[in-house]
Amino acid sequence: MFHQSKGCGLVCIHPLTRYAPKSVQETEVKKIVNRKFFQQQSGFIASYILYGIGLLAIVGAAYARLSTNTQQGQSVQDTVNEVAVQLEVIKGKIMLCAAVYPDGDHGQFNTRHAYPAPATAGHAAVISAVACPTPNGPLSLALMPDGIPLPVSPPDFEEWVYEHTEAGGIRLRLIPRLSGGAAATRERLLRQYDGSIIANGDEIVFAVLN
């Protein structure tokens, strides 16, 4: 009867193989060594596959964050562009009022007579309520002969506010709907209109005419 040897190490030869010819023993040894090598290689390959999967997951998460940040940045820039267009439209209507009706008089104070000046505290009003002081009576800015409707402020902001005071001149105010809202848009506008815009708390104040 044959007994398997103990403590045979990495390569164990079946007991019967000991009594086989040398060539057979060598073949058995090679088979065992090859099998061990294949198992080790398989382990390495599996490890690399798992590493690759983990790396792809990390890259995917980073790309998702980058994509989200890019989309948010583009959304802010879209709002900035919209504000810029609306600002020019409103300014154009204000200037057109004085150009078409130079003999108009707002009657609130003794300067810039032909420009709108709301008869309210602070001479301020939402843009839809502002009227051009024509010689024939007030005419809504929406009805100026440019044929362009009054713009609707971006979703993050309240309706544009027009302000005309004797000392401060003509200003346009843009106020966030939420306290502290549209901070990224406000910061980008402050950079873009440096010198003709100020931040008054959450409000953005554009200088139109001094």
Query: pTM of the entire structure?
Result: 0.67
Determine the pLDDT at residue 205: 96
Residue 22, in any domain of the structure? no
Residues 178-204 pLDDT 10s: 988 889 999 999 999 888 899 999 999
Range of the domain at 109: 75-209
User: CA–CA separation, 173 vs 198, rounded Å?
Assistant: 10
Q: Which residues partner with 138 through β-bridges?
A: 133
Residues 111-159 pLDDT 10s: 999 999 999 989 999 999 999 999 999 999 999 999 999 999 999 999 9
Average pLDDT over residues 29-51: 55
Residue 80, in any domain of the structure? yes
3-state secondary structure of 130: coil
User: CA–CA separation, 173 vs 161, rounded Å?
Assistant: 5
Percent of the chain with pLDDT over 70: 66
Residue 96, in any domain of the structure? yes
Determine the pLDDT at residue 44: 53
The yes-or-no verdict on residue 49 having pLDDT over 90 is no
Residue 119, in any domain of the structure? yes
User: CA–CA separation, 96 vs 168, rounded Å?
Assistant: 20
Q: How many domains does the chain have?
A: 1
User: CA–CA separation, 10 vs 47, rounded Å?
Assistant: 22
Residue 180, in any domain of the structure? yes
User: CA–CA separation, 157 vs 209, rounded Å?
Assistant: 23
Residue 158, in any domain of the structure? yes
Residue 30, in any domain of the structure? no
